[in-house]
């Protein structure tokens, strides 16, 4: 029998570090796993499923933190990202968070397909991976440093500016449940509190320097295919007119007009003067120059510079659409300089801007309604639109000072502690604060949020494009507010996203690259013959695997739910005024969805489905 | 045809696609450390600057080489390395006022742009025109 070896685009090695024991080990990457689950999200989900027993406390030594590459990582394939994964302290679910920049490529050049970190270091430390050499170094001198300082300090200490760093800020050190991981250069793995998991392991940073190379199975075919797709993206209308000009903030006008822009804790979908936060406005007031992630022709980001007001002189990345929505409109703010500074503080202190804006907006509503009375909130005059209060709260949360200690638990945690009617205004799904694409006005989006594997997330399926922008679904166009055909779109989107996440490709590459295009790149890199259908099958397989992780943790149909506001309060304005997703509507959507997925009526994948996907042997 | 590599740092977005294209063209693998063009990226990214040989008039590298392993090619205008003569001493790396030559530590040979024979691959991939091959 011929021994299977991984395709040439893999390193064939996983680095495992046990911080408690202080030892490291290199494990071979099982080719049978890559053939079925490819890499990235698939590989990380499989490792997490195998290594983390159900019921594990996310902050315990038994939780593992996984950085994973994909088969295309480090190649010239357009728009690649990295991922980090763990059991989330915010949701208790499988949780994967993606980041651009240059960190993950360096890990692959250092010779590893994935980095698995378990245990807890005795004191604050950082991991130094220099090609095959791995060392745990003292980081007590880095305690309290913000993310930019940490990255620069480590490079100085190691004497090499080309070292790439992933690190946490003060918020991660203090286990704020929505702390982020900052990845070189200033790209954030924001969602799900994976920075808090890193903090719980006493791990301030991972520094990597790699000088190896990445090969592919069919070099010329791969290179020319990649060349074609770089051009496809560069020349696509969406990239030319929106992404590369206005970035994600190019969505502000659309969202604010269509009633999705989260306003004052998601009470409304439109804010007056919302256009002040738009890409057009930011490009005039804030932006210095455009920046791209590794090998990406989409160029969606911008380096910004606050030019006026009390925070003038501040340089930051942003402001991304999600941040304009959550730290801006959701807190009643439209002043670009204030939102930019709030964004800067979150990036540097280490908070996910979506969850931070979600929890602050929630606190504002509770205080205004008199549900939560506290002298500290009184002193802050915590009302919608008070930018100074938002900035103060970001600091308090990051350092867990005063009320910040409670807010650091996230919306779900705050609702439980405050009690009373607080839960009625808590906007989260499975504990994850929902993003700036709320579902009133797009029922498919409601189903996508309710069933996303890591909790309320827009990057596991974004049906709004089909429901509002009129992109035809797999069975043709759909009516915006109808329930018809929505489950099918959600399944299609989730399978496609999950497949792209195994590569690890950026969501935005889907604006130009269809499943058959990604399949072509994967085939040329690995030497396998993969078509669009098989590519989507990989996504479906991975989606069922992450579902099984959550099922094992006790998640069922009852958790595939939406916040009360979206089910009982009609949207007050906009083209979808009066719309909500009633419990009956949600139940109908879930029935359709489970049927299409061949899951039982409680949302659990059937044995037959798992066998059909070839997952039986993996579970 | 003789060309000159023109660098427009204000257009650079720091994607490093040029490094990947160069390394593939030269080695058949994706290995940015062996790329003849290196993008300097600051944190924050207010500074991004592709660095490569710009076929300068000074030619300090050619002058610095003790064994005459470097020469200016009359046809393409590129500085070309004769690997067989080169001893890997690194004086060319030190002499370049633009820091445009790096050292392949494994092979002990300097990495210098040869303009891909007059049609530089990096230029074809740059999404913003930060790299330009200007005919002279």
Q: Give the SS3 label for residue A187.
A: strand
User: Could you tell me which residue, B3 or B1, shows the higher pLDDT?
Assistant: B3
Secondary element (H or E) of residue B133: strand B131-135
CATH architecture of A13-209: 4-Layer Sandwich (3.60)
The CATH T-level fold of domain A438-618 is: 1.10.599
CB contact under 8 A, B31 and A230: no
Contacts (Cβ under 8 Å, ≥6 apart) of A421: A369, A371
Smallest Cα distance from B74 to chain A, Å: 30
ipTM higher than threshold 0.90: yes
A151 and B127 within 8 Å at the Cβ level: the answer is: no
Alpha-carbon distance A258 to A274, whole Å? Answer: 12
Q: What are phi and psi of A28, to 5 degrees?
A: -70, 145
Mean of the per-residue pLDDT values for chain B? Answer: 95
**Cβ–Cβ gap B46/A185 under 8 Å:** no
- The separation between CA A37 and the C-alpha centre of its own chain, rounded to angstroms, equals 20
Share of chain A above pLDDT 70, in %: 99
pLDDT over threshold 70, residue A2:
no
The pLDDT of residue A322 is above 70: yes
Taking CA–CA distances from B29, the nearest residue in chain A reads: A215
Compute the Cα dihedral for A71, A72, A73, A74 and give only its sign. Answer: positive
Q: Does B16 touch chain A (CB under 8 A)?
A: yes
Residue B66 contacts A where some CB pair is shorter than 8 Å: no
- In chain B, whose CA is at the least distance from the CA of A344? B44
A219 chain-B contacts, CB cut-off 8 A: 24, 28-29
Q: pLDDT tens digit string along A559-606?
A: 999 999 999 999 999 999 999 999 999 999 999 999 999 999 999 999
* CB-based contact, B67 to chain A, within 8 Å: no
Q: Does the beta carbon of B104 lie under 8 angstroms from any beta carbon of chain A?
A: no
**How much is the average pLDDT of A172-180?**
98
Q: What is the pLDDT of residue A1?
A: 43
Which residue, A602, A165, A395, is CA-closest to B43? A165
Instruction: Please name the helix (run of DSSP H) or strand (run of DSSP E) that holds residue A188, with its range, or none.
Output: strand A187-189
- Residues B121, B25 contacting (CB under 8 angstroms): yes
Closest Cα to residue A71, out of A41, A99, A95? A41
Pairing of strands A114-118, A13-18: parallel
Lowest-pLDDT range of A2-11, A77-86, A314-323: A2-11
Q: What is the pLDDT of residues A535-563, one digit of tens each?
A: 999 999 999 999 999 999 999 999 999 99
Q: Taking CB atoms and an 8 Å cutoff, what residues of chain A touch B41?
A: 102, 185
Q: Give residue limits of the domains in chain A.
A: 13-209, 248-426, 438-618
d(CA A384, CA A362): 10
In B, minimum Cα distance to A317 occurs at: B44
- Which pLDDT belongs to residue B1? 77
pTM: 0.97
pLDDT of residue A3: 58
Task: Give, for B79, the enclosing helix (H) or strand (E).
Answer: strand B79-81
Q: Is the pLDDT at A458 greater than 90, yes or no?
A: yes
Q: Where are the beta strands (DSSP E) in A368-500?
A: 428-429, 432-433
Q: What is the DSSP letter of A434?
A: P
On the question of pLDDT at A403 being above 60, the answer is: yes
Confidence of residue B107 (pLDDT cuts 50, 70, 90): confident
Q: How many angstroms separate the Cα of A478 from the Cα of each of A444, A548, A596?
A: 10, 30, 17
The CATH code of the domain that includes B45 is 3.30.70.20
Interchain contact, A297 vs B32, CB within 8 Å: no
For range A202-213, the mean pLDDT? 97
Contact A152 B44 (CB under 8 A): no
Domain of B97? 3-135
**If you average pLDDT over every residue of chain A, what do you get?**
97
Nearest to A530 by CA among A538, A514, A515, A519: A519
Q: Percent of chain B scored above 90 by pLDDT?
A: 88
Name, in order, each residue with C-beta under 8 angstroms of A6's C-beta and a sequence gap of 6 or more.
A12, A29, A31, A34
Q: Where are the beta strands (DSSP E) in A131-167?
A: 133-138, 164-167
Q: How many independent structural domains does chain B possess?
A: 1
For residue A76, give the nearest of B20, B41, B106 by CB distance.
Answer: B20
Residue A408 has pLDDT above 50, yes or no: yes
Number of neighbouring beta carbons within 10 Å of residue B10: 10
Are A76 and B125 in contact (CB < 8 Å)?
yes
Region A14-37 average pLDDT: 96
CATH architecture of the domain A248-426 equals Orthogonal Bundle (1.10)
pLDDT for res A6: 83
Distance from CA of B128 to the nearest CA of A (A): 9
Cβ within 8 Å of residue B110, ≥6 positions away: B81, B86, B88, B90, B92, B93, B101, B102, B103, B104
Q: Does B33 touch chain A (CB under 8 A)?
A: yes
């Amino acid at each position: 029998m011929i021994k299977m070896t991984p395709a040439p685009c893999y390193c064939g090695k996983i680095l495992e570090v046990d911080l408690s024991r202080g030892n490291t080990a290199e494990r071979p990457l099982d080719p049978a796993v890559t053939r079925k689950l490819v890499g990235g999200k698939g590989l990380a989900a499989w490792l997490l499923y195998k290594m983390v027993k159900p019921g594990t406390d996310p902050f315990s030594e038994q939780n593992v933190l996984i950085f994973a590459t994909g088969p295309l990582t480090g190649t010239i394939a357009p728009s690649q990202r990295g991922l980090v994964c763990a059991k989330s302290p915010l949701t208790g679910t499988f949780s994967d968070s993606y980041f651009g920049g240059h960190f993950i490529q360096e890990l692959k050049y250092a010779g590893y397909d994935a980095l698995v970190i378990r245990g807890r270091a005795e004191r604050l430390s950082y991991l130094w991976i220099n090609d095959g050499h791995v060392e745990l170094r003292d980081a007590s001198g880095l305690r309290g440093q913000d993310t930019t300082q940490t990255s620069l300090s480590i490079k100085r200490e190691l004497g090499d500016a080309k070292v790439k760093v992933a690190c946490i800020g003060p918020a991660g050190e203090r286990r704020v449940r929505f702390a982020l991981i900052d990845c070189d250069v200033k790209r954030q793995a924001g969602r799900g509190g994976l920075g808090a998991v890193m903090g719980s392991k006493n791990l301030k940073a991972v520094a990597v320097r790699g000088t190896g190379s990445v090969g592919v199975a069919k070099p010329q075919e791969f290179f020319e295919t990649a060349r074609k797709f770089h051009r496809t993206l560069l020349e696509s209308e969406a990239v030319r007119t929106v992404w590369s000009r206005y970035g994600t903030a190019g969505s502000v006008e659309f969202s604010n007009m269509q009633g999705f822009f989260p306003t004052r804790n998601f009470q409304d979908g439109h804010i007056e003067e919302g256009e002040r936060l738009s890409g057009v406005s930011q490009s005039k007031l804030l932006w210095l120059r455009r920046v791209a992630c590794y090998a990406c022709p989409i160029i969606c980001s911008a380096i910004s510079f606050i030019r006026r007001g009390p925070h003038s002189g501040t340089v930051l990345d942003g402001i991304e659409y999600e941040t304009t929505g959550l730290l801006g409109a959701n807190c009643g703010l439209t002043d670009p300089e204030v939102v930019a500074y709030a964004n800067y503080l979150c990036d540097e202190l280490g908070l996910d801007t979506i969850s931070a804006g979600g929890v602050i907006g929630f606190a504002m509503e509770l205080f205004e309604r008199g549900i939560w009375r506290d002298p500290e909130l009184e002193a802050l005059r915590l009302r919608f639109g008070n930018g100074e209060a938002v900035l103060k709260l970001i600091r308090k949360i990051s350092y867990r000072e005063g009320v910040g200690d409670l807010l650091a638990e996230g919306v779900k945690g705050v609702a439980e502690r405050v009690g009373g009617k607080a839960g009625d205004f808590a906007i989260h799904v499975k504990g994850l604060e929902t993003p700036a694409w709320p579902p009133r006005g797009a029922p498919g989006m409601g189903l996508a949020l309710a069933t996303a594997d890591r909790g309320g997330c827009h990057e596991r399926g974004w049906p709004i494009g089909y429901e509002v922008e009129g992109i035809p679904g797999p069975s043709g166009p759909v009516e915006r507010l109808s329930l018809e055909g929505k489950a099918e779109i959600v399944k299609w989107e989730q399978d496609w996203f999950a497949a792209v996440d195994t590569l690890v490709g950026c969501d935005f590459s889907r604006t130009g690259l269809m499943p058959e295009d990604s399949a072509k790149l994967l085939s040329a890199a690995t030497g396998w013959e993969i078509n669009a259908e098989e590519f989507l099958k990989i996504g479906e397989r991975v989606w069922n695997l992450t579902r099984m992780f959550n099922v094992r943790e006790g998640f069922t149909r009852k958790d595939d739910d939406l916040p009360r506001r979206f089910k009982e309060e009609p949207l007050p304005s906009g083209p979808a005024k009066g719309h909500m997703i009633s419990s009956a509507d949600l139940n109908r959507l879930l029935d359709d969805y489970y049927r299409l997925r061949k899951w039982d009526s409680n949302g659990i994948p059937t044995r037959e489905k798992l066998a059909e996907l070839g997952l039986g042997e993996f579970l | 045809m003789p060309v000159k590599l023109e660098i427009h740092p204000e257009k650079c977005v720091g994607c490093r696609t040029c490094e990947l294209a160069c390394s593939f063209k030269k080695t058949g693998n994706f290995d940015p450390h062996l790329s003849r063009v290196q993008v300097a990226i600051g944190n924050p990214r207010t500074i991004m600057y592709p660095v490569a040989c710009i076929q300068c008039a000074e030619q300090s590298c050619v002058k610095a080489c003790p064994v005459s392993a470097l020469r200016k090619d009359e046809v393409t205008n590129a500085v070309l390395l004769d690997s067989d003569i080169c001893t890997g001493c690194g004086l060319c790396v030190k002499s370049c006022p633009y820091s445009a030559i790096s050292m392949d530590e494994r092979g002990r040979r300097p990495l210098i742009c040869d303009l891909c024979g007059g049609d530089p691959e990096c230029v074809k991939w740059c999404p913003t025109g930060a790299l330009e091959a200007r005919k002279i």
